Amino acid sequence: MYALTHALIHTDSQCLTDQALLIDGDRIVGLQPQQSLPPTLPRHELAGCHLTAGFIDLQLNGCGGVLFNHSPTLTTLHTMHQTNLRSGTTSFLPTLISAPDETICSALSAVKSFMTTQADHVLGMHLEGPYTNPQRKGIHPLPQLRHPTDDMIDFLCQQAPWLRKITLAPEQNRPEHIHRLKTAGILVALGHSAANYQEAMDGFAAGIGFATHLYNAMTPTLNGREPGVVGAIYDHPCVYAGIIADGHHVHWANVRLAHKVMGPRLCLVTDAVAPAGAPAGFDQFDFCGTQVFFRQGKCVDAKGTLGGSALTMIEGVANLVRHVGLPLDEALRMASLYPARALGVADRLGSIAAGKVANLAVFDADFQIKATVAKGQYHALST
């Protein structure tokens, strides 16, 4: 057992001072006044830094110079995890965009193997496509987009919990397929969709519970007569959504509007690719056959199409505070508690509470990560 002391501790509802957080093994024991700690108890003093639940990224294509699509292996997952720890992210969904069935199977096998020892860090795979709409394909390779077969739906349903989330276009998929995926325990998300309002609402009724990168690769509210996918998301009382707060994918005013409408159903995601957390000079890479360039903070192909982001979760939190105007506590919930709820893991992750997994992040007033705690193991970042 040890204690984390002299920190501003952000729980799911308040910010505490003069409290110490006790950790035993991989679990949070609880909070108690600092002055009541036994003098012999080991401790890490955090010098007034912020202490919060570790961030949970529901959409991470790659980081640290690697891409899961390029190499869906244990080595790639290890690199992504170690890179994440430097930005306060302690849990994530490795994301595979539209790919052949063989690649999907290989990626699921790697995720399954990694989760046997790191289940609270990798929470399962996010399969983004290939069952999406070519009209809204974004950077996804057009030859890979297709309709699922009954046999493939059977296979995917059998992969839960290694397959935790799947993004598809409701207008391209049968409602019974969506229902079966949801019943299997997979979070079905709407994304890369040209659906109208009614098609989106029908998808929600069939079992879709999430929207992938809100505003991006989906039909907007065109006018008062056609709300589009965005309007359907806003109009539904239960659907969660991820949003990329990098200043390139979504205007800050639209992030603010989304938060006003959705509140605790809006989750910060990065949609990050290889340049996120990579060494300086990493300025171009291949993303499923498309050359992507990292320029002026954006990841774009030769035509200017966005191909993921270089955002980290701590940078996203900082942007939500500095540019969107959200309170820090709410920005932290968007990066931890709300993703945990969306994924159904809030009983063990996403907030600081007794009995939960000790996945934590420590950052200073300038939003610089100083340390992370991963399943109880304290990791200080070297300066």
**Active site residue ranges:** 271
- Measured between alpha carbons, how far is 90 from 294 in angstroms, rounded to an integer? 25
For 218, which DSSP code?
B
Q: Helices 175-183 & 197-206, crossing angle to 10 degrees?
A: 40
User: Which amino acid is located at 376 in the chain?
Assistant: G
Q: How far is residue 263's CA from residue 258's CA, in Å, rounded to a whole number?
A: 8
Pairwise CA distance, residues 296 & 88, whole Å: 23
CA-based torsion, 6, 10, 13, 15: positive or negative: positive
User: Residue 374: beta bridge partners?
Assistant: 377
Residue 54 structure tokens: 């570790």
Structure-token pair, residue 283: 């300025």
For 262, the token pair is 């959705």
Contact 229, 198 (CB under 8 A): no
| Sheet arrangement for strand 298-300 | 284-287, 290-295, 298-300
Q: What angle do CA 330, 246, 272 make, to 5 degrees?
A: 105
Cβ count near 298 (within 10 Å): 19
Rounded Cα distance between 292 and 273, Å, is 10
**Helices marked H in the chain — which ranges?**
74-85, 101-118, 150-158, 175-183, 197-206, 228-235, 252-262, 313-319, 328-335, 337-343
Integer Cα distance of 89 and 122 in angstroms = 11
Residue 128: strand pairing partners: 97, 167
Contact between residue 240 and residue 165 where contact means Cβ atoms under 8 Å apart: no
The partner residues of 92 in beta bridges, in order of sequence, read: 57, 122
